[in-house]
C-alpha cells in the first residue's frame, strides 16, 4: 500500500520554479491592492487636511478606490482574454503604482478622487488574476499552498495596513503611503514579464463582448458601492441622494442579472453558483468578508473614538492580528493533507467568532493592552479560514472557468465587506442611540448620585479657573452628558462585535453544507 502511495506521490506533477515565481509575483499585486484600502483609511484625516477638505467629502477618497476595484474585478476574466493574460496584468501592474504616486501630488479633492478611482481600477485587476494563477499555474496537489499564499494576502494586508499607514503618516507625512507601492510593483512587473508566456491578443472578442452586461454592472455596482459607503453618514433613506442611488442600483443590477442569465456569452458566469460547493462556498466567503472587513473597520473606530488613539497607536494594536498569521497560514496546507478542509474551515471560523464575543464585555478601561488576547485569538482563527474555504469553493471548477470563478468569488467577498461595513456602522449608530436613551432615563436630577456627581464636578471647575457658578454648573452638566454618550458608545461597540460573532456562527454552520473536496482541493491546472 505504501509503495502505491509513494508511486502516486512521485507521479503527481509539480509546478516549475518559473510558475512559482509568477504566482508569487501575483501575490505581491494582490497584497498591495488590498493593503491600499486600509493604509489610506488609517491616514484619511491627514489626507483630508493636506488637500483642504472636510471629513464628509474626504470619505470619497476611499469610496472612489472601492468603486474602481469592485467594478473591474468581474471584468478581469474578459479583458485578460481580449488583451492576453500577460499583457493585461503587466499593464495594470505598471498603472497601479503610477496612479498611486500621482495621488501623493494631488492638491484638491476632485483630483484625488479621480486618481484614487483609477488606482482602484488598476489594483482591482491584480486580486482576481493572482487567484486565477493559483488555479491555472499550479497542479491540484500544490494548489493548497498557493491558496494559503492568497489567503495571507487577503487577511494579512487589512490587518497590517493601519500599522503601516499610521507609522508612515505620523513619522513621514501622508504622501509616503502612496510611494510605498513603487518598489514592490516594480519587482512584480519584472517577475511577471519574465515568467508569463506571451500570447496573441484576441481583439475580435471585443465585438462579441457582453457590453450590455458590462454597462449595467458598472453602473449598478458603482451606485451600490456608493450607497453602502455613504448611506450611514447620510442617514440612509432619509436622504434623497441615497434613495435615488438605491433605485439606480436596483434597476441596473436587476437588468445585469437578467442579461447574464439569458446571453450566450455572459460577462459573469452566474451558472457556476448552481454547483453546490461553489454556491455555498461563495456565500460563506461573503459572510467571512463581512467579518473580516467589519472587524478591521470597528476596532480602529473604537480605539479612535473612545480611547482617542492616533493612527500609529491604532496600527500597533491591530498588528497583533496580522503577525501571527505569517506563522500560521503556511501550516494550513499541511493540515489539509491530514484533515477534512471543511472541519479546518469550521474550526477557523468558530475561533474567529470567539474572538469577537471576547469583545462584548467592553468597558471604559478596555484599551490597547486589553485587545491583545482577542486579537491573537482572531489571528489564529483567520489563519485557518480562507485557505480551506477557497479550496472547498473551487473544488470541481474546470480550468477554463478559473478566471470566471475568481472574478465572481473576489467580487462578492469585497461586496460582502462593503455591505458588512455599512451595516455594522448603522448597527453601531442605532445601538449607541438605544443605550444613550436607556442610560439617560437613569441619569436624572431626582437621584442623589446624579446630584452629588454634578456638585463635585461643578466644584472641580470652580477650583480650576471657572469663577461663575452658573457657568461651572453648565460645564458639569455638559461633562456628565459626554460621559453618558461615551458609555453608550462603548456599549454600542460591544453589541456590534456580538453581531459580527453571530454572522461568523452562521458562516460556520453553512460551511458544513458543502461536500468534502478531493485531497488537494481546487481546480486543476492547465
Which long-range contacts link 210-213 to residues 24+ away (Cβ below 8 Å)? Answer: 210/78, 210/259, 210/260, 210/263, 210/265, 210/266, 210/267, 212/259, 212/263, 213/256, 213/259, 213/260, 213/263, 213/266, 213/267, 213/268
In the prediction, which pLDDT does 250 show?
94
Task: Write out the chain's pLDDT in tens, 526 residues.
Answer: 444 444 444 456 787 888 999 999 999 999 999 888 878 877 777 888 888 776 667 677 887 888 888 888 888 888 888 999 999 999 999 999 999 999 999 888 889 889 999 999 999 899 889 988 988 888 888 888 888 888 888 888 888 888 888 888 888 888 899 999 999 999 999 999 999 888 888 888 888 888 898 899 889 988 988 888 788 778 888 889 999 999 999 999 999 999 988 888 888 888 888 888 899 999 999 999 889 888 888 888 888 888 888 878 888 888 778 778 888 888 888 888 888 989 999 999 999 999 999 999 988 888 888 888 999 999 999 889 988 998 898 887 888 888 788 888 888 887 888 888 888 888 888 898 898 888 877 777 767 676 777 777 777 777 777 777 777 777 777 777 778 888 888 999 999 999 999 999 999 999 999 988 765 445 544 4
In the prediction, which pLDDT does 255 show?
94
End-to-end CA, the chain: 30
Q: Where would I find the H helices in 105-209?
A: 109-137, 143-172, 176-179, 182-195, 205-208
In the prediction, which pLDDT does 518 show?
65
In the prediction, which pLDDT does 4 show?
45
In the prediction, which pLDDT does 65 show?
87
Residue 84 Ramachandran class (φ > 0 left, ψ -120 to 50 alpha, else beta): left
The model's pTM is 0.82
In the prediction, which pLDDT does 525 show?
43
Distance CA 343, CA 519 (A): 14
Fold of 15-209+267-433+491-511: Growth Hormone; Chain: A; (1.20.1250)
User: What is the distance, to the nearest Å, from the Cα of residue 231 to the centroid of all Cα atoms in its chain?
Assistant: 18
Distance CA 68, CA 244 (A): 21
In the prediction, which pLDDT does 6 show?
45
In the prediction, which pLDDT does 326 show?
80
Torsion of CA 31, 249, 237, 295, to 10 degrees: -20
Cell of residue 7, nine digits: 508511486
Nearest to 76 by CA among 68, 35, 526: 68
User: How buried is 64 (Cβ within 10 angstroms: 0-12 exposed, 13-18 middle, 19+ buried)?
Assistant: buried
Asked whether the beta carbons of 107 and 175 are under 8 A apart, the reply is no
Amino acid at each position: 500500500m505504501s509503495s502505491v502511495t509513494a508511486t502516486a506521490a512521485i507521479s503527481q506533477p509539480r509546478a516549475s520554479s518559473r510558475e512559482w515565481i509568477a504566482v508569487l509575483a501575483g501575490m505581491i499585486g494582490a497584497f498591495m491592492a488590498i493593503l491600499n484600502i486600509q493604509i489610506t483609511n488609517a491616514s484619511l484625516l491627514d489626507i483630508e487636511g493636506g488637500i483642504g477638505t472636510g471629513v464628509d467629502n474626504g470619505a470619497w477618497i476611499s469610496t472612489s478606490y472601492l468603486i474602481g476595484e469592485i467594478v473591474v474585478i468581474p471584468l478581469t476574466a474578459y479583458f485578460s482574454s481580449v488583451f492576453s493574460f500577460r499583457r493585461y496584468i503587466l499593464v495594470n501592474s505598471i498603472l497601479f503604482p503610477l496612479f498611486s504616486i500621482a495621488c501623493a501630488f494631488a492638491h484638491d479633492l476632485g483630483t484625488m478622487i479621480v486618481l484614487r478611482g483609477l488606482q482602484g481600477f488598476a489594483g482591482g485587476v491584480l486580486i482576481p488574476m493572482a487567484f486565477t494563477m493559483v488555479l491555472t499555474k499550479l497542479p491540484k496537489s500544490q494548489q493548497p499552498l498557493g491558496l494559503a499564499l492568497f489567503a495571507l494576502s487577503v487577511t494579512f494586508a487589512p490587518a497590517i495596513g493601519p500599522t503601516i499607514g499610521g507609522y508612515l503618516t505620523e513619522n513621514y507625512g501622508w504622501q509616503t503611503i502612496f510611494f510605498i507601492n513603487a518598489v514592490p510593483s516594480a519587482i512584480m512587473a519584472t517577475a511577471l514579464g519574465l515568467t508569463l508566456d506571451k500570447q496573441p491578443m484576441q481583439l475580435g472578442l471585443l465585438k462579441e463582448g457582453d457590453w450590455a452586461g458590462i454597462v449595467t454592472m458598472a453602473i449598478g455596482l458603482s451606485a451600490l458601492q456608493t450607497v453602502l459607503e455613504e448611506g450611514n453618514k447620510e442617514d440612509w433613506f432619509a436622504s434623497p441622494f441615497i434613495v435615488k442611488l438605491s433605485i439606480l442600483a436596483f434597476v441596473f443590477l436587476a437588468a445585469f442579472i437578467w442579461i447574464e442569465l439569458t446571453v450566450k456569452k455572459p460577462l459573469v458566469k452566474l451558472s457556476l453558483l448552481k454547483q453546490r460547493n461553489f454556491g455555498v462556498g461563495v456565500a460563506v466567503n461573503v459572510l467571512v468578508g463581512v467579518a473580516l472587513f467589519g472587524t478591521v473597520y470597528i476596532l480602529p473606530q473604537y480605539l479612535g473614538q473612545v480611547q482617542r488613539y492616533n493612527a500609529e497607536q491604532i496600527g500597533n494594536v491591530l498588528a497583533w492580528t496580522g503577525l501571527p498569521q505569517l506563522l500560521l497560514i503556511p501550516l494550513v496546507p499541511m493540515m489539509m493533507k491530514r484533515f477534512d478542509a471543511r472541519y479546518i474551515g469550521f474550526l477557523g471560523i468558530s475561533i474567529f467568532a470567539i474572538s469577537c464575543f471576547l469583545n462584548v464585555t467592553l468597558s471604559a478601561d478596555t484599551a490597547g493592552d486589553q485587545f491583545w488576547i482577542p486579537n491573537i485569538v482572531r489571528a489564529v482563527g483567520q489563519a485557518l479560514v480562507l485557505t480551506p474555504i477557497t479550496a472547498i469553493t473551487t473544488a470541481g471548477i474546470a480550468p477554463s472557468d478559473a478566471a470566471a470563478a475568481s472574478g465572481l468569488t473576489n467580487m462578492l467577498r469585497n461586496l460582502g465587506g462593503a455591505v458588512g461595513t455599512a451595516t455594522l456602522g448603522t448597527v453601531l449608530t442605532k445601538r449607541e442611540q438605544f443605550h444613550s436613551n436607556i442610560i439617560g432615563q437613569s441619569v436624572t436630577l431626582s437621584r442623589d448620585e446624579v446630584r452629588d456627581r454634578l456638585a463635585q464636578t461643578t466644584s472641580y471647575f470652580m477650583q480650576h479657573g471657572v469663577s461663575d457658578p452658573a457657568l461651572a454648573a453648565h460645564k458639569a452638566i455638559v461633562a456628565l452628558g459626554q460621559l453618558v454618550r461615551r458609555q453608550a458608545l462603548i456599549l454600542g461597540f460591544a453589541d456590534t462585535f456580538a453581531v459580527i460573532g453571530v454572522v461568523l456562527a452562521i458562516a460556520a454552520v453553512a460551511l458544513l453544507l458543502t461536500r468534502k473536496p478531493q485531497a488537494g482541493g481546487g481546480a486543476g491546472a492547465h
